[in-house]
Amino acid sequence: MKRNLKTSQLTMISMGCAIGTGLFLGSGLAIQTAGPSVLVSYALGAFVVLLLMGCLAEMTVAHPTSGSFGTISEKYVHPLAGFLVRYSYWIANVLAVGVEVSAIAVYMKYWFPSVPGIVWILVFATILIYVNATSVNTFATFEYWFSMIKISAIVGFILLGSYVLYGTDARPNMGTGNFVNDGGFLPFGWWGMWVAVFISLFSFLGTEMIAVTAGEAKEPDIAVPKALKATVFRLTTFYVLTIGIMLMIVPWKSAQVDKSPFVKVMEILNIPAASGIMNFIILTAALSAMNSQLYASTRMMFSLSQSKYAPAFLGRLSKKGVPLWALAVSTLGIFLAAAVNGLLPSSSYAFMMGISMFGAMFTWLMIFVSHLYFRKKWEKSGGRKLPVRMLGFPYFTILGAILLLGLMITTWFTDFKIMLQFGIPWLAFLSIAYFISKKRKVNHHFAEDMANSSLKEELKELR
């Protein structure tokens, strides 16, 4: 928990966590859901994230802690809100860690088909646990280079695709005509485009990581706003350009859910060893996402312990300032994902994605809600002038909350219904746990007060 992270590292950590399998694999699902209008879906998703980052930047600079939005929700909304946000974000990342490590085992089978998947799960889990257990600088260095590989791959894809489309004699079935062929720009209507916005948000998950790392950043007042702006604009450019080029090269009906659209494009262009290259990049994406999610879940559990909502030993730090016990608890997702893969081999990815998405979406919604409370209370208390301010307050904050809530409700009418089926009982369970915990604390304090009072009376009598 030492302030060693630089602006460049913050940016790469956030981009690395956001550029994961959601873009490399999930984009195929988004394209099949919306057709060419997926470009609008990703633009709208980026707009929601831009509003979110504006709120988050303002609050994070005012409170640069590892508890981040969980601490802010507790302080400005209600202790219950902080409890729900931190545990929901923790479980989202814990589950996501399990999803990624299970996917890694599948990717390694490409090169080593005879080696059991459990071997790769243990090998890579051990490596990344060690990376997270050493120091924040070790974690940041690994994440920086993981992110560099992914970003280089995307830039390379954009340059290659642009060259094929405009630098050579493009094939007749390539070009902007693919945006309106096969049913027009909106083959599934506005509904398909709207549902794909939710899928696009899965690709942007992880941008909020900057707020979690703020507690370990050098000069957070400067580093956090710069990193947030750079992340949102670069991600938006990468996503829209990449998917636009994909659609111009490969007609949208040819994009498959079970195969990365990147691989499809490389196969069409006859790139040697296309599958092997893409497998390596997706493997790196999964490792990067797992690395970041393990970090985020560890810091959130540490924050819960600091607020006395989790056992005190989870808040203990190593000599290098790492909460090792919180890290150990946050590896539970690895074992849970292995179990789910065994029970639901054909639908484990969608199942785990739906469950983990709720925690992340609920956290995002609470960031908007917290910002409304934060600004009002901050101005009323006469605090120092905020170095970063969200534009268009409160209208843009309310707009972001409405859009996100609308997308969450939309999932009830789609294949992602599992998100709310899991999420609503999860919040109910956490709320009951909170009030039971609070009641025990009150009883404990009452017993302590009574004991102290009795002791004072006895001392008086002895005197």
Q: How much is the pLDDT for 455?
A: 52
Q: How much is the pLDDT for 134?
A: 81
Which residues are CB-contacts of 107 (< 8 A; sequence separation ≥ 6)?
A: 279, 282, 283, 286
Q: How much is the pLDDT for 279?
A: 78
Nearest CA to 261 among 26, 20, 28, 18? 28
DSSP string, 58-116: HHHHHS--TTHHHHHHHHHT-HHHHHHHHHHHHHHHHHHHHHHHHHHHHHHTTT-TTS-
Q: Can you tell me the distance from the alpha carbon of 84 to that of 269, in angstroms, rounded to the nearest whole number?
A: 48
Q: How much is the pLDDT for 120?
A: 82
Judge if pTM exceeds 0.85: no
* Cβ–Cβ < 8 Å for 57, 230: no
* Cβ–Cβ < 8 Å for 89, 296: yes
In three-state secondary structure terms, 317 is coil
Q: How much is the pLDDT for 445?
A: 53
List of domains in the chain: 7-434 (1.20.1740.10)
Angle at 430 between CA 428 and CA 434, to 5 degrees: 120
Q: How much is the pLDDT for 458?
A: 56
pLDDT tens for residues 236-270?
A: 777 888 888 888 887 787 765 555 666 667 777 77
Q: How much is the pLDDT for 16?
A: 63
Spans of the chain, pLDDT less than 70: 1-26, 65-67, 136, 168-171, 210-223, 255-264, 337-354, 383, 441-463
Q: How much is the pLDDT for 403?
A: 94
Q: How many CB atoms lie within 10 A of CB 114?
A: 5
Q: Can you tell me the distance from the alpha carbon of 316 to that of 306, in angstroms, rounded to the nearest whole number?
A: 9
